[in-house]
Amino acid sequence: MKGFKFSGIKAGIKTKDAMDLGIIFSERPARAAALFTQNQVVAAPVVLGRERIKTGLCQAIVVNSGNANCFTGTKGLADAEKTAVLAARALGIPPELVMVSSTGVIGAPLPMDKIEKGIPELVSNMGSDGTEAFATAILTTDLSPKISTRTCRVKGGEFTITGVAKGSGMIKPNMATMLAFVMTDLDIPSTSLQACLKKACDRSFNRISVDGDTSTNDTVVALANGMSNAVLEDSDDSIEFQRLLDEVLLDLSKKVVRDGEGATKLVKILVKGAKTPEDALKVADTVAQSNLVKTAVYGEDPNWGRIVAAAGRSGAQMDPEKLDLKFGDVALVEAGVWLGKAAEIEAAEIMKDEEIELVLDLNIGEYSDWYLFCDFSENYVKINADYRS
């Protein structure tokens, strides 16, 4: 991917000896688009980001982990602005072209002495091969970095899209995941990029859940610097770009759910035959959020009663006597009737897989939707009980 550099270092923000400060830099100002958390409690970087993105341009993003810079008042906003100024000074660019993001514990002020000391090292370490270091520096309870890359040739030339995300807990996005950054060397207007990003998020990050909590810091930013000289010449090119962006974000979404705190399984709930599109999503969302469903998945128990009970309280229109339910390719319920112990034994075998698909057909309409979620284990409790320790 042309014109982008990355870096990640150990700045000492976290209590552990770990990388915790990262940067993305474009060699020239990039067209920018972004989406932010819908939580009413928002972190200082989100407040700043909402203002900065209005220009449609961005050249650098500084990200720290270990501290959310949230519920930190006017000082928190001043610290976010100072971080941008420090990075701009080191890069030799206007501060208005720098965005910042933070992730970590809510309520503590940023250790600005460590950030101020770390930024010169961060900038000096930048390179086109620094994606892995950046992806590692933005992690909190994640077990592994999350990167996805695709290259495509359209009529206007060849371009690359690379996405980096972090997220493991506090995942039930209303726009994106906890933090995600997408870079492309394609030439695309910021308004078009914003529209494409919104569609891609709706088809990916807005269809995942780990624990049902929406973060105060949720941010997804897309940068397009045009340095490949590839442009979208017609509607076919635009469709191809959207397809590729969808693919990258969906891949990152799956990586987030697989890496959910304490998770052992990735589950897709596919709802079919709904009366309306809204009903299809309501059912999928409600099943995905159910702790009883999630614990049954962890226990490898095909407890279909929990699934249909969740569907029944979703608020969607349905007829219980028309419901069909499959675990993978194993039918367990048909026309609202359990198919018996033999079918349940077969379904239990499906539950042993690391990836599982549940298919619930309401059989009253033509609409479908889906959600990705993970199981719920005792390790989730342990991780979050010790999070601030």
Residue-wise pLDDT tens digits, 294-307: 999 999 999 999 99
Considering the candidates 72, 177, 216, 286, report the single residue annotated as catalytic: 177
Where exactly are the structural domains of the chain?
Answer: 4-258, 266-385
* Burial of 367 from C-beta contacts in 10 A (0-12 / 13-18 / 19+): middle
* Topology of the domain covering 4-258: L-amino peptidase D-ALA esterase/amidase (3.60.70)
Instruction: Say whether 133 sits in a helix, a strand or coil.
Output: helix
- Give percent above pLDDT 70 in the chain: 98
Shortest CA distance to 159 belongs to which of 252, 236, 237? 237
CA torsion angle for 73, 256, 172, 313 (degrees, to 10)? -170
| pLDDT band, residue 92 (cuts 50/70/90) | very high
Residue 224, SS3 per DSSP: strand
Residue range 117-127, pLDDT digits in tens:
999 999 999 99
CATH code given to domain 266-385: 3.10.20.340
Closest CA to 96 of 33, 53, 35: 53
Out of 75-89, 132-146, 163-177, 296-310, least confident range: 163-177
177 catalytically annotated:
yes
Mean pLDDT of the chain: 95
Question: Which band of pLDDT confidence, cut at 50, 70 and 90, is reported for residue 352?
Answer: very high
Q: How far apart are CA 190 and CA 223, in angstroms?
A: 9
Q: What is the pLDDT of residue 151?
A: 97
* For residue 174, pLDDT beyond 90: no
Task: Provide mean pLDDT across the span 81-109.
Answer: 97
pLDDT band, very low/low/confident/very high, at 236 (cuts 50, 70, 90): very high
Average pLDDT for 316-322: 98
Is 80 exceeded by the pLDDT of residue 160? yes
Q: Dump pLDDT digits (tens) for 17-75.
A: 899 999 999 999 999 999 999 899 999 999 999 999 999 999 999 999 999 999 999 99
- Any long-range contacts for 145-149 (C-beta under 8 Å, 24+ apart)? 146/252, 146/255, 146/256, 146/259, 148/247, 148/248, 148/249, 148/251, 148/252, 148/255, 149/1, 149/248
Q: Answer yes or no: is pLDDT of 389 > 50.
A: no
Q: How much is the average pLDDT of 92-118?
A: 97
Mean pLDDT confidence for 83-96:
98
Nearest alpha-carbon partner for 341 in 304, 290, 295:
304
Confidence of residue 387 (pLDDT cuts 50, 70, 90): low
DSSP 231: B
Q: What is the pTM of this model?
A: 0.93
Integer CA distances (angstroms), 62 to 5, 141, 289, 308, in order = 12, 19, 32, 45
- CA–CA separation, 254 and 251 (whole Å): 5
Q: Is the pLDDT of residue 176 over 90?
A: no
